[in-house]
């Protein structure tokens, strides 16, 4: 009932969920049932690409929750994404078993290559999916909790907070690059074979992963929408707009920030976990500060503080990235750069701002006609 009420007030969100539903019914049919030579056939490559975009969209929703509603410009959200990805990658690595190049039943290939004798303690348990799933939620969550607890309690705000989130992801990237860390160093984790017993290369598995991404995005979106419509969400908007005032009124600013931040990190972790089996690799490059900046830019282009804007931005930028890097590799960076500049200059509310702009113009016109 509450949910219906909330969604009734979120027309663009309903549209988006509707489109998502249609796509997730249509794509499997077009991929599995329509013959390959038909014009309507969607290749498995495209399915995977779409699945990847959906995980990006979920990540963007997570970032928008923190930036758009909490006012924290996070420059390190890709770290949570990558950590979730690594947790999933470790599970997939353990599933390879004896099929690795070196054929060791327990140790992943890179450990055999480094002539390690036994599995490090932090790799224990990742052969069980439930354990890996738990870690996908716990590891980003705990990191966000510790980081947020320290930062929010000390009242680190503004650019200082942005820069230390960047320092966090940068430090993690450097750490994961080290072979001694036990996460495959430079090469990361790759060569995955199957997930839950299903072959990762099979079309049906790809479709299942795509559907899982779509479902995760839908659920993540709805949960985020519930949060921002709740008292917690309203309080966080208050903090975004006037932190000191909210504190003086009596809100526990630190706690509110912390819980939204942790929730957002968990969403990002889940997005990462769904991303890895679809692209088939996770390496320390995912921690790169540039990824986090790009993420912020998806949100900005879509329109921050709307949630659906983040989804639109992520899909649009990534689609155009795929298109331009293939079609016009020389032009791509010019186009992307120009896009960022133009959007920030002329569309401060992002692409969805255009729509609301038109609406206000309409109402203005109506008012003028009345008078």
Partner 1 sequence: MPLSATTVSVKKTFPPLLFFFVSFFMSFFMLMSIAQQTVASEIPAESSLEDAWKTLSQKNYNKKAGAIEVIAQQNPPEARPAMKAMLEGQLYYAKRGKALYFLKEVNDNYEFTPLFDTDPALKPVLQENRRGFKKVKVNNRLRRMIRQLLAVMQLKHEDADIRLAAVQELLKNPETEAADLVKNAIGKETDQRVITSMQTLLAVIQLENGDETAQLAAINTLANSLNSSAMNALTAYQAPTKALENKAQSAINKINDKRDLYAKAETIFFGLSLGSVLALSAIGLAITFGVMGVINMAHGELMMIGAYTTYVVQLLMPDNIAMSILVAIPAAFIVSGLVGIAIERGVIRHLYGRPLETLLATFGVSLVLQQTVRSIFSPLNRSVETPEWMSGAWQINEVLALTWNRLYIIFFCLAVFMALIAVMKKTSLGLQVRAVSQNRTMARAMGVRSKWVDALTFGLGSGIAGLAGVALSLLTNVGPNLGQAYIIDSFMVVVFGGVGNLWGTLVAGMSLGVINKLLEPWAGAVLAKILVLIFIILFIQKRPKGLFPQRGRAAED
Residues of this chain that bind partner 1 (CB under 8 A) = 73, 147, 150-151, 153-160, 162-164, 166-168, 170-171, 174-175, 177-178, 243-244, 289-290, 293, 296-297, 300, 330, 332-334, 336-341, 343-345, 348
Between 214 and 256, CB nearer to partner 1: 256
If one counts every other C-beta atom within 10 angstroms of the C-beta of residue 255, the result is 15
Closest CB 253 distance from partner 1, rounded Å: 13
Closest CB 62 distance from partner 1, rounded Å: 18
Between 141 and 350, CB nearer to partner 1: 350
Closest CB 95 distance from partner 1, rounded Å: 30
HEC per residue, the chain:
CHHHHHHHCCHHHHHHHHHHHHHHHHHHHHHHHCCCCCCCCCCHHHHHHHHHHHHHHHHHHHHHHHHHHHCCCCCCHHHHHHHHHHHHHHHHHHHHHHHCCCCCCCCCHHHHHCCCCCCCHHHCCCCCHHHHHHHHHHHHHHHHHHHHHHHHHCCCCHHHHHHHHHHHHHHHHHHHHCHHHCCCHHHCEECCCEECCEECCCHHHHHHHHHHHHHHHHHHHHHHHHHHHCHHHHHHHHHHHCHHHHHHHCCCHHHHHHHHHHHHHHHHHHHHHHHHHHHCEECHHHHCHHHHHHHHHHHHHHCCCCCHHHHHHHHHHHHHHHHHHHHCHHHHHHHHHHHHHHHHHHCCCHHHHHHHHHHHHHHHHHHHHHC
Closest CB 30 distance from partner 1, rounded Å: 35
Between 52 and 349, CB nearer to partner 1: 349
Closest CB 250 distance from partner 1, rounded Å: 19
Between 42 and 60, CB nearer to partner 1: 60
CB 187 within 8 A of CB 280: no
CB 350 within 8 A of CB 301: yes
Between 270 and 301, CB nearer to partner 1: 301
Closest CB 80 distance from partner 1, rounded Å: 16
Tokens linked to 287 = 């921690």
Between 155 and 252, CB nearer to partner 1: 155
Closest CB 75 distance from partner 1, rounded Å: 8
Between 153 and 358, CB nearer to partner 1: 153
Between 290 and 354, CB nearer to partner 1: 290
Closest CB 202 distance from partner 1, rounded Å: 38
């Amino acid at each position: 009932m509450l949910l219906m009420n909330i969604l009734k007030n979120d027309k663009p969100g309903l549209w988006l969920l509707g489109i998502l539903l249609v796509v997730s019914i249509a794509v499997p049919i077009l991929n599995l049932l329509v013959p390959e030579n038909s014009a309507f056939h969607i290749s498995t490559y495209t399915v995977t690409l779409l699945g990847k975009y959906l995980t990006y969209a979920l990540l963007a929703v997570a970032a928008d929750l923190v930036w758009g509603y909490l006012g924290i410009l996070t420059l390190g959200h890709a770290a949570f994404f990558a950590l979730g990805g690594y947790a999933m990658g470790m599970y997939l690595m353990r599933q390879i078993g004896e099929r690795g190049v070196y054929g060791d039943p327990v140790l992943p290939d890179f450990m055999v290559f480094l002539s390690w004798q036994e599995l490090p303690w932090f790799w224990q348990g990742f052969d069980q999916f439930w354990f890996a799933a738990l870690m996908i939620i716990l590891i980003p969550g705990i990191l966000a909790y510790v980081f947020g607890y320290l930062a929010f309690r000390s009242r680190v705000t503004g650019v200082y907070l942005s820069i230390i989130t960047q320092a966090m992801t940068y430090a993690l990237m450097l750490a994961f690059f080290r072979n001694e860390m036990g996460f495959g160093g430079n090469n990361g984790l790759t060569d995955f074979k199957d997930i839950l017993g299903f072959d990762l290369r099979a079309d049906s598995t790809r479709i299942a992963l795509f559907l899982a991404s779509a479902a995760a995005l839908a659920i993540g979106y709805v949960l985020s929408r519930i949060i921002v419509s709740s008292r917690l969400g309203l309080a966080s908007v208050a903090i975004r707009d006037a932190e000191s005032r909210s504190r003086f009124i009596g809100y526990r600013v630190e706690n509110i920030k912390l819980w939204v931040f942790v929730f957002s990190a968990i969403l990002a972790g889940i997005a990462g976990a769904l991303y890895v089996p679809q692209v088939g690799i996770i390496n320390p490059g995912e921690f790169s500060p540039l990824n986090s900046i790009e993420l912020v830019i998806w949100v900005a282009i879509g329109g921050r503080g709307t949630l659906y804007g983040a989804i639109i931005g992520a899909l649009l930028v990534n689609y155009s990235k795929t298109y331009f890097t293939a079609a016009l590799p020389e032009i791509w960076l010019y186009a992307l750069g120009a896009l960022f500049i133009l959007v920030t200059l002329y569309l401060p509310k992002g692409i969805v701002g255009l729509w609301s702009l038109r609406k206000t113009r309409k109402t203005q016109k109506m008012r003028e006609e009345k008078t």
